[in-house]
Each structure stands twice: as structure tokens, then as C-alpha cells.
A and B are shown apart, each in its own frame.
Chain A
Amino acid sequence: MASTPQMTGVLPPTTKPAELEYGGDEVSALVLDPGTNTTRCGFAGEDTPKTCVPTYYGIVPDPEDQKYSGKLKIGENPINSVVDGMEIRNPMSDGIVENWEVATEIWRHCIEYRLSSKIEEHPLLVTEPIWNPLKKREKTTEIVFEDFGAPAYFLVKSAVCQSFANSKPSALVVDMGHAYTSVTPVIDGIPLRKGSERTTLAGQHLTNQLRHQFSELGIRMAPWLTLKNKTPYSDLAAAPPLRTKDFGFHPHQSFLDLQQDRFIHEFKECVSETWPEAKTFPADINNLPDNFRGIADKAFEFPDGYQRRFGIDRFLAPESLFNPSVSPKAITGDLPKGIAEMIKDSIDHLDADIRANMLNNIVVVGGTSLLYRINERLNHELMTMFPGPRVKIHSPGQIPERKYSAWLGGSILASCGAFHQLWISKQEYDEVGANIIERRAK
């Protein structure tokens, strides 16, 4: 409001207001942060993404469809509706895009859904994990320019965004996401490949552990959508018959799994808790030592109405993030390192002169970091591992800032003036090809 608006009183009602039409066209950049669980997108300069659509998609077999041999169902509502034969899949694998055709559709949906009907008008900033290989980076570049027709584009490592979002140019970023927990050292805005680590001990792992735990207990994990109604009970032996809906077909198992994830997610939010200390979690939870300190039970009601109190067993799945050997569902193959071990490894890989700086600037973000008391545990573990230098964990206090940390950092980057010189323009892409990304954005 630089000038005084032409308000009434100044003009008589019958006079037409002066027409100083708006001339220039400044289009704001879009920031796209694709993850395994959700894909986030929004305008640069805003503090939360405007859209957050599931990266999971449904596919209803249809032999007539040449491209996907089925009908794609993308978005929150389609994948949460019961459709005969719909299978739920994910275009991501290993935290990076595997199925490009579908991923492109999902990105497009994410942008066009509520942001902009003119995808070709906006510069686009995309985030990527640090382990994204060259081939995939080039492919992303190709899609952004060829499919979306973006005027300008840039690819940024999500760890860099996350450290920026926490206003730290240098940080050890611990990103606890859905598919992966990764540790990336960032020095002055540059991510270091050396010293970056990742493990699958993350949200999905927790979900699978809990699913296993529930089925071991004999809990019928009927999700909401398949039930007509619930009947409260708390004795599994005397469980009333399930009041399921008859769809006339059996929903695909992958659909049921996704629906189960919904209440498992709720369980993670409300009941799961991290044991706050390193190495004191009882080895055998069914045979606790006498001097063991008490913990509070928490009750949970499952969609079919089953209510159960969870005691020490609600600590089990989170504990497996730090100590994979206690996983309720045995991990096949080599036992991965726990999260704290991984952070230690990362620090050990770094030059000695930056270790203290890193330990003092540990940034913990990602949806799984919202697990109750997980930061206390991390803090405790790291204090035990590095008794000398000062260990300091920084974690945003606001839930959206944790969940959308990478997006937020991207939003900050894309909106700052200096960044505008970094954009790769369509012209450059046309001249050099997809390989431009390797030259311009390491």
C-alpha cells in the first residue's frame, strides 16, 4: 500500500476510477518436494505447501489402456475409495522416482490440483535426495522442460533446503521420513556426499513393525472403509463378529494395507513412544526385571471397536529404530545400524575440524521425528557417544515445519533474489540438453 488507494469520497460515485492497468507479469515460482509418502507443492515464498497429495496411487486394471494397462487414480480421494480391482502402488523406490510416467502424472496433479492451471508459466524448483543418481537427475530435467514446459528450473538437495529452513548454512541434517532416515552433513549450503548415510529405519519401517505386532496379538486390523459399524470390545477371545461391508468384491490387499496404514498412523501419533534412554530398554519385555520402573499404559481403539491398553509394547517399534535387533518382525538380511549409530558413522567420516560444528548443529526433521520423545532419545544417545563436545539438537517446534521442512527451505531459496541467477532456463536446456543439470547444479 504505497500509495493511497482510491477510496470513495475522493471520487464521486458516477466517475469511473482511473485506469492504470497493471502491466508487468511476475509469475511466482513453484516448489515441488516429492517424497515417498506424499508429494508437496506450493508457491515459493509461502510458509507451507498448498498441496500435499499422496504419492501412492491406485491403478484399476484396464487392458485397453496402452500406457499403464489400467486407469490411474491419483489423489487423496481416489485412492481412498473402494474400487474393484484397484491396486495401490508407489512410483518411488529407494526414495527416488522409479516409474517416471506415473510420477509425472502425480506431480502434474499436485500442481494443477489447487495451484495453477498453467503449469508452463512457472519456474519450478524440485528437491532431490542426495543419493539421486545422474540418470534420474537428467530425467527430472527432461520432464520439467519437455512435459511441463517450465520456463526455468532448478534441482536442490533436500538436505540443503532443510538446513536453510532451520536458518543454518551448516548443519548435520537428520531427515526421518517415510521410506528413509538419512543423515547429510551440509557445510555452507553444500551437501557432502562423504559422510552422508541412510537407512530404511523410518516411518514405513515403523508401520510394518506395528502391523506385524498387531497381527501377532491377533488383532483384526479391519480398516474403517471396509466396516459398516463398530462394536466396542476389549477381549479378543470374545470378539464380536466383524460387521464388514459387502462390496461384492474383495478390495485388493494393497488397498487394505494402505487403509490399515491410516489407523496405524494414528497409533504412531497417539500411542507409540520412544524409550528416552539409550541401552536401558528391557531385553525381554515379557519378562521384566523386578526393579523395572513403571510406565503408563495407553489405550487405543481400533476401527472395529477393539480397545486395548498398550504398555511397554508400545515402545517396541520405535525402539527398533535405534536397535533393529528388537524389531517385532525380524529384519531379513543384514541387520542395519540403528539411527544413532548411523549418525556416529557420519560424524566419524567427517574431517575432524568440522565435527564439533556438526555436533552442535544437528537438525532433526521429517514426519517420523514427530514420534513422541524421539528427540530425547537421540539426544541421550549422542551425549553418550560424544561425551566431549557439545551436542545440540535443533528441531522445529511446529509440526508443519518438521513435516514440510524440505519444502519450506525450497520455498525460501526460490524466493530469494540471488537465487534467480541460478535458474536453468529453457533456452539453456535447449542448447545443452538434459546434461545441463550436472554442469549447473551439482
Chain B
Amino acid sequence: MVGPGFRDDHILLIAPGSRSTLAQLGLPESFTPAKLRFPTRMFPGLEEGQYLPNKVHELKEGEEMLLRNGEVMTAGPNGKPIKKRKVDSASKPSTTTQTSESGAAKPTDGKGDTTMADATDDREENEDEGGDDDEEMNGAKEEGANPKLFYEDDDDEEGAVWCLEQGRIANWEAFFALLLHIHETLNPTFHTPILMISQPCWTCTDKERICQFIFEKLKTPGFGMMDSAAAINAAYNVQNSLVIDVGYDKTDITALIDWNIQEVNRTTIPFGGNSMNKHLHKLLPELTEDEIDQLKRSNICEILPAGVPIPGEEDLDRDEVVRPVEPTTIGMGGVTQPKALDEEGDEEEEEGVTNIAAIVASGKTQEYLAKKEKEKADKKAGLAAGEKRLPNYKRENNSFLYVEKVQDSVLENGKTDHPAEIPDGERMDVDVAPTTTEEPKTVEESSISNGADAPPPAASSEDKQPEATTIDTEGSKAVPDTEANKTGPSLMESMFSGTKDDDDAKRAQEKALRREEKKRQEAAQSGERRKEIEVGTERFKAAEGGILEAIADAAHRVVSSADNYNLRSECWNSVIIAGGGCRVKGFKDALLNTIVAKYQVSPSSGTIFTSELPSNIPTPSGTGTNTPQPSAFSSQQPNALLLQAAANNAALAAAGQHHLSIPQPNQGPTSIKVAKIPEYFPEWKDHGFDECMFLGAQLGAKIYFVTDQGANKGFVTRADYNSQGPQAIHNI
């Protein structure tokens, strides 16, 4: 090899997943989690076959949108822009859904432009490849050829084309557009090799197609593919392993022996994180899909370890999974279905101060007091406020904060944060109303608030009023500007200090709750709405839809069909559970428990399987020499296995005698363990190892591109590609 080869900082890593695609340019000194995360979806562009990273809307007649320079453009007939004017706080336009979205589009515009600028600077030649068409659509632009107005919308997922389905590439055009988009965003130099993590279910032709695209469109000097299971295994650095990669709609199960993927036996089952969503949705049909998803991601959703009863359910021996499709676990316990959403009392309990504020303001104090009485009665049943201090697994009900991306935020100029103007009625039924029905309300309500042109919250300094905003953050949502983000938290601080003075003993606990909320609020962007949703014990049942058993059984099949039977036990001893789908609290343990409970050969008999023959009996040979007297055949002794175990313990000597036969394996697995998490990657420790596939990709890239320099054919070079074509990808 001539030349210095590739440099660490000139390597592009791409790991496509069903939901999000991870990417990074350059290998850092110490390997880090992926720097960039793209949703694995594209939107159909304006022309046939064109795909854009963001949803593009056409401005309809009479609609207005905000431009970067603070101007508002109104679309006229045929989408032609008819007027421009400056927006000031006094003249708030009567907004429509579409109009306000331009607020969200704003930051993208800038970003898109810089990307394009970079691209133009660095790679003028590439411009004429036609690859940069997408960028031209960025932002609200008036184009000569097309006088219509378009704008991008970050949040709208409607019409999105998801590139991968259960790992398979469902839409090639969109997938390639995504790759192009990633490539353009990162904008690597010409001699940046690319390493892509491949999904196990990609066929050989799929890989060839990708290889062809990468070489012909992205002009890379080197391209490698690393199987996701191999990458995960590399991150853990174990020789033999069983990799269980729980994805969104599928789980890949692969056994690796001597670093090699057992290609024939690996399998992909159609269970993943989304199956848990579906199951939860079945249990909690009143929640929207988005709410379910956030419930699953919240820390109250967990899978309890064996032996820990679901609170309120007597049955310790609870039915893990009854049937794969139809859950029959519903209603197993007596008081398990508190139906929080039907009882306003519960809701209040959760929303706490906010609702008190609301109630007082709305004059519903009488009703409220009645409900407090009801709560006191509930206290006896252990449902009272004090229960909030209990750990999650002991509580029958718990709540999580639902953050909803609100698309119909009001067009604001960034100065008027006036969160106090929310009608009380709205807040009361926040829990009940599904997202869809809420939207029109928000618009209506927003216009009310606009009309009133409320004073800033500091002015309405009664301690109860601003508290409302902590929970129901209409205000911060309504402000698209970053400025609002800054004011938001400090605002809340002041509110909290206000609450402190309150006499009510309950407040103390609720403060903690709200502090947590506040944190999330700070982290969250504007254009969001939060609400608390309380759920019952359903939150412990996310994995009861059959996912654990399905994975366990498939894992057993995969390992049992691994050809090298003596190394099967090694695989069982380093099980790696990775992937985004296994992030649910307790999932990994529960999965391991399921496997152990069903498939591990019981420990009491474990040692017998280490040897075929008792140590005191010489091997019977074909000639009949060394034939001892018959040993006991009686198989029915109660403790047969233990007796034999004791007798057999140290004898392995006989194995070499059977020349013609492949040695017989032992029944297994006798022990199942999770592989040890590698310790020398500090950045990953905090991030968690669910995405360790990306760590493996970095290790792989380092070896293939930097250390090895292609000596072991770890990747396809341009020359290989030119001589062999896309099939070169199979020779690595």
C-alpha cells in the first residue's frame, strides 16, 4: 500500500436503523456515541421521485408565513406571493395552522442555507451532479421557475416515507435520498471512506445496490459494510456471543462463534420496541400512540423482575405472557384498573397545584373540595398523596409528563410571553382530550389570548396564576423564538418560590414532582405542550405482549442450531442485549430471566453434563477391553442427576478416543449470562450501551481504514469497485 491512507477524522460512519440513522464524521480520540441522529425518513418532494428531509408545504391562498427577515408573506391566487409586510407585536395576524408553522421552519432555513453554502464552497463539482436539488427547496423561497411559496416544516411527520421496514429497505429512492442528505449535512472531503452498518436482513443484492450508490453518487474512495451484530459484538469484544438486537419493529438474533456470524442460523423476528407500544395501546386504548410511546420511554414504565408483584395484584405467579396476540392479562387483579382518565380526582392529584389554581380561578372550588374528600377516602386504600414517595414499582398508579409537539403555535414576534391566559376549562380536560381534538381548541384559545394581549406573567404575580404555566405551558409553546426558551425557566423559578409560601402540606411533595417537570421543560424546546398522564399497573405490562417469549424462543433456536456445538455454551455465556427497543426499564433483566427460566438446564443437574463418563469407569473400546461390570442402569432414582454429577465431576479424558465421530455435545445451556460491558469508553458509560453498535462501527472503522489500511480487505476501494463492480462488497 502506498500513501498515508485514511485519517481518523476523515471517516464517515452511517448506521441506518428503522427509526433513526446514526452518523458521524471522523473518529474521535476516545470513541463517543454518534454525534448525529437523523430520522430514517424522507418526505416526497414536489417533483416525482424527489425526496426531502423535511416536510414541505405549499402555501395556500390567503395564508401567511413568516420569513427570516421578519416579513410576513401572504400567498395569493395560484400561490403567488402578493404582499409582504413587517410583523410587529401589535398586528398579530389571524393565524391558521399552516401559517404558524413557518415559525418552526425558521431555524431550518438558516441551517439549510449554511449547509448549502458549505457544499458549494467545498465541492463545486458535485453541485452539478444534481444531488443538491433538495437544498434549493430549503426554506421559504420565491423562485423564478416556480412562483409558488414553499416552506419546510420540522415537526410535521405526515406523509413521511420511512426508508426501512423491519430493517429491510422499503423505499430505495427515499433511502438513497437520506444517504445523500446525511452526506451533504456532514459534507466530508473526497477521500473520506464510508463505513455503513448493515442490517442482517439486507440481501446480497441490497448490499450491492448500496455499494453501487455509494461509489457512484458519493464518490468515496473506500466503502465498507459491517454487520450490525458484528459491530455489537466488536463493541463488547467477545469471541463467542449471542447478540440480541431489539429494534423498532424487529429483533435480530445472531450467534457469533469465533467472531464469525453464524449466517445460516441467524434470525429476525417481527417483535421490537413497537410491539410493546402496540401492546400498551391495547391495554390503554384511551391514550394516543404518541402518548403511549412517551409512556414507554418514561421512567415509570418498567418491567418488574420476577417475584416482584405488580402493585395491587395479588398473584405473585403472574402470567408473564399468556398468548402472543391477545392479552388476557387485563383485569387480572382486583383494583388494577383505576381508570385515571375517567376520574377527575386522580387527575387533580397529579396536576396538583396547577389545578388548584385553575379551580380557584374558575370558581369550581366547591367541586374541588368534594374531590379532596374523596381523595382522603382513597388514602386508606393506599392511593393517597403520600404514595408519591413510594418507588414506582410499589405504586399502583403513577404519572408521566407527556410532551406534545404542538404544530399550531401562534405566530409571535418573540417578546410576548404571556402564559397566564389559558382558559381554565381547557386545562381541566387536558388529560381526556386526545391530541387530535385538542388542536383546534388550541388555535381558538390562542386567538383568545392574542385578542386579550395579556400582560407578561410577572405582572400577574399572584402565586397561583403563574403556576398554571409550569404544567400547561401554552405560553412557552407559543413562542417559537429561542429567546422564549431562556425566559421560560427563570419564569418557572419565580413560580416555584411563590409556591413555597403555600401552607398546604401537599405542596412539598408536589414541588419535587414539579422540579422534575421543570427540568424536562428546560430541556424541551419551545413549540411543545406538556401534560401529565396517569396510568395504572398497565405500565408494568409493556413486555407482556409476547415479545420476551418470542425473543427467548428464537434465541434458543438460533443457538441450538449453531453448528459448533461445543461453543454453544460460550454463546450463552455472553448474551448481548442491545438496540433501542430494550431501553424500557427492566427489559434486559426480564428477557434474561425468561430465557433462563425456560431454556437453562437446571443448575442442580448442571455439572453432570460436563462429562460423558464417570471418572472411575474406563472407556469401553470397540474391542471390548476395559469393560467394567455393569454400572447401575436404574434411571429412576430420585436424585439421579445429582448422583451422576458427583460421580462425573472430573472426567473428560475419554473424549479423544472416538476418531470417526465428532465428539458429542452436552445438553445445554447450563448457564446463561450477560456479556460484560466494556469499561474503557467513558463517553459511552453515560450514554448507555444500547447503541453500542455505533461503538463497534468506530472500532471497525479504525481497524479497517486506519490500522489495517485495506491489507486484510476490510473495505472496498475505488479500484476494487472499478474492477469488480458492486459485487466487490461481498469479497470483504
Contacts and interface: CB of A to CB of B under 8 A. Distances in A.
B612 A298 contact: yes
A28 interface: yes
Interface residues of B, number: 105
Contacts of A335: none
A262 B605 contact: no
B614 A296 contact: yes
Contact of B598 (A16, A229, A273, A370): A229
Contact of B620 (A271, A294, A301, A403): A294
Interface string B546-561: 0000100110110010
Given A76-B267, A307-B640, A375-B660, A28 B665 contact: no
A66 interface: no
Nearest to A303: B598
Contacts of B263: 48, 50
A69 interface: no
A6 B718 contact: yes
Interface of A is mostly: loop
A22 B722 contact: yes
B294 to A, nearest CB: 30
Contacts of A403: 563
A43 B204 contact: yes
Interface string A291-314: 011111111110101011111110
Contacts of A116: 203-205
A11 B658 CA distance: 60
Interface in B641-661: 641, 644, 658-661
B673 interface: no
A81 to B, nearest CB: 6
Nearest to A231: B602
A276 interface: yes
Interface string B593-634: 000011101101100110011100100101010011111110
Contacts of A19: 219
Contacts of A247: 322-323
Contacts of A67: none
Contacts of B10: 8, 13
A376 B660 contact: yes
A1 interface: yes
Given A15-B190, A266-B667, A399-B563, A294 B640 contact: no
Contacts of B557: 76, 80, 262
B397 to A, nearest CB: 28
Given A77-B269, A299-B609, A301-B602, A21 B216 contact: yes
A374 B721 contact: no
A181 interface: no
A216 interface: no
Name the residue among B323, B599, B730 with the largest chain A CB count within 10 angstroms: B323
Contacts of A48: 263-264
A373 B602 contact: no
Interface string A6-28: 11111101111111111111101
Contacts of B667: 266, 270-271, 299-301
Contact of A24 (B660, B718, B725): B725
Contacts of A296: 612-614, 617, 631
Contacts of B316: none
A117 interface: yes
B723 interface: yes
B125 interface: yes
A361 to B, nearest CB: 15
Name the residue among B320, B563, B612, B662 with the largest chain A CB count within 10 angstroms: B662
A337 to B, nearest CB: 22
B221 interface: yes
Contact of A11 (B126, B190, B326): B190
A135 interface: no
Contacts of A22: 212, 215, 721-726
A307 B605 contact: yes
Contacts of A10: 2-3
Interface stretch (A183-191, A193-201, A220-228, A340-348): A220-228
A399 B5 contact: no
A353 interface: no
Contacts of A227: 598
A442 interface: no
A249 to B, nearest CB: 9
A345 to B, nearest CB: 23
Interface in A234-251: 234-236, 245-248
Given A5-B710, A294-B628, A273 B189 contact: no
B120 interface: no
Contacts of A28: 727
B553 A269 contact: no
A392 to B, nearest CB: 11
A271 B644 CA distance: 14
A5 B718 contact: yes
Interface in A243-284: 245-248, 262, 265-266, 269-271, 273, 276-277
Contacts of B320: 228
Interface string B203-219: 11110000010011001
A300 B602 CA distance: 10
Given A5-B719, A234-B639, A77 B267 contact: yes
B339 interface: no
B7 interface: yes
Name the residue among A11, A52, A114, A230 with the largest chain B CB count within 10 angstroms: A114
Contacts of A60: none
A433 interface: no
A234 to B, nearest CB: 6
Given A48-B264, A298-B612, A376-B660, A21 B722 contact: yes
B661 A374 contact: yes
A51 B201 CA distance: 11
A308 B635 contact: yes
A240 to B, nearest CB: 13
B724 A7 contact: no
B322 A246 contact: yes
A276 B622 contact: yes
Contacts of A25: 725
Contacts of B201: 114
A307 B190 contact: no
A8 B4 contact: yes
A24 B723 CA distance: 9
A299 B605 CA distance: 8
B638 interface: yes
Nearest to B565: A269
Given A112-B203, A309-B641, A397-B662, A297 B633 contact: yes
A297 B263 CA distance: 35
A31 to B, nearest CB: 13
Nearest to B206: A117
A51 B264 contact: yes
Nearest to B270: A77
Contacts of A276: 622
B490 interface: no
Contact of A311 (B267, B556, B629, B635): B635
Interface string B655-694: 0001111101111000000000000000000000000000
B622 A380 contact: yes
A13 B190 contact: yes
Top 7 A-B pairs ranked by shortest CB distance? A293-B627, A5-B717, A9-B3, A22-B725, A375-B660, A311-B633, A13-B189
24 contacts: A1-B710, A7-B1, A10-B2, A14-B189, A22-B722, A28-B727, A43-B204, A43-B730, A50-B263, A81-B550, A82-B324, A112-B203, A114-B203, A229-B597, A234-B638, A270-B664, A270-B666, A293-B628, A294-B617, A296-B613, A296-B614, A312-B633, A373-B660, A373-B661
Interface of A: 1-11, 13-26, 28, 43, 48-52, 76-77, 80-82, 112-118, 121, 224-225, 227-230, 232, 234-236, 245-248, 262, 265-266, 269-271, 273, 276-277, 288, 292-301, 303, 305, 307-313, 370, 372-376, 379-380, 393, 395, 397-400, 403
